[in-house]
Structure 1
């Protein structure tokens, strides 16, 4: 069984014992999403740590978007809850790249691939995404690639 999934289950047990309602609810939600991903498709399978991290990134993004939507609708209490859940999920993800590090990485890939303009964006994006490996959102990466190629 993957280590990250074991860690999530162990942390859920700890949160339940300490009666931490927010952490318990969030970890249950994450484990439910992982289980749903495992049984999706034609055949049930065990997710690798990388696949579990992809599920975690997706859940963190959902929390961010929901918090923004609640805040825009003037529902600050629900927005705060979504942010708190996002922080719990974010604790299991690798640290995000700083803007300067991302810019340097994109510049390096552009130099290596010999990209000359926006027509090469797809090639640059593919190479950068491989190196970023979940440490930056696709939207941030695309914006930086666009800025440097444009």
Structure 2
């Protein structure tokens, strides 16, 4: 069992003992998703921490998107519940990079690909996303790359 899987299991037990309904519900859902992923991967191969982090990120994105849909539909309570669930899941994500750290990664990528303008957006995104893998949301990286390219064009 990976370190992250062990932490999730122990947090699940703690949530049961503490009768923390929200956390218990979210962790049970996460465990079910992990088991499904394990079945898809094959019984012989254990899920790695990276596999679990990818799964958690996908679940957080699903919760955020669902909250947006609920909000547009006028179901504010449901939207709030989805966001609370996402917050529980975020505890299992690595600490996100600051805007300054993302910009440094963007600057390194620009130097590596010799960025000359907006036409290099794709190359820069690829390099930057590889450099910040799992530590920054793609939308934040995209905004930083656009800002850098716009500033360098002037």
TM-score, shorter chain, exceeding 0.5: yes
Corresponding residue number in structure 1 for 2:6: 6
Residues 54-90 of structure 1 show CA distances to partners (whole Å, capped at 9, x for unaligned) of 1011111111111121122111111111111011000
Structure 1 segments of 4 or more deviating over 4 A?
none
Provide the alpha-carbon RMSD of the alignment.
1.5
Residues 11-33 of structure 1 show CA distances to partners (whole Å, capped at 9, x for unaligned) of 00110111111000000111111
Correspondence 1:12-51 to 2 at 5 A: 12-40=12-40, 43-44=42-43, 45-51=45-51
Residue 141 of structure 1 and its aligned partner are, at CA, apart by: 1.4
Point out the more displaced range, 6-15 or 64-73: 64-73
CA separation in 2, counterparts of 1:119 and 1:34?
Answer: 39
Q: What is the TM-score normalised by the length of structure 2? A: 0.88
Unmatched 5+ stretches in structure 1: none
Correspondence 1:101-116 to 2 at 5 A: 101-116=101-116
